[in-house]
Homo-oligomer: A and B are copies of this chain.
Amino acid sequence: MRSLGQRAELLRVIAHPARIRILEELTKGVKCVSDFEEFLEISQPNISQHLSLLRNHGIIDYYMDGRLRCYFLVDPVIPNILELLEKDYPESLPAPACCPVTKKGKYPGDRRR
């Protein structure tokens, strides 16, 4: 079970356009750094920095093959999160019954103080 801090940290580490793209690609399969260079419009050192961050948080790992580092996904929650983000949600959640518009409603439940 992830603590509150761990949950926040996990999201924080994913929450960057380059890292989301990296993770999306890794859900499709193993990729090495020069593969990422082909579609990420950032410098190679910057790619390495993002990969290091992800690895330091146990989200990805790599193995060496010659001079290539083959990165792959480790954390099983990642594909699920990415899938949620890509899904379309046409509806907002239902607003609570007690009327944003008429301003008349009572607060649901008991309040103290």
Which residue of chain B lies nearest to A92 when distances are taken between CB atoms in the complex? B74
What 1/0 flags go to A89-110 for Cβ under 8 Å of B? 1011101101111111111111
- Which listed residue (B4, B20, B92, B105) contacts A75, Cβ 8 A? B92
Are A84 and B81 in contact, CB atoms less than 8 angstroms apart? yes
Chain B residues, CB < 8 A from A21: 4
Cβ proximity bits A1-36 to B, threshold 8 Å, 1 near / 0 not: 110110111111011110111000000011010110
The CA-CA distance from A72 to B35 in the complex, in Å, is 43
Task: Name which residue of chain B comes closest to A85, CB basis.
Answer: B7
- Among B5, B19, B75, B107, contact of A70 (Cβ-Cβ < 8 Å): B107
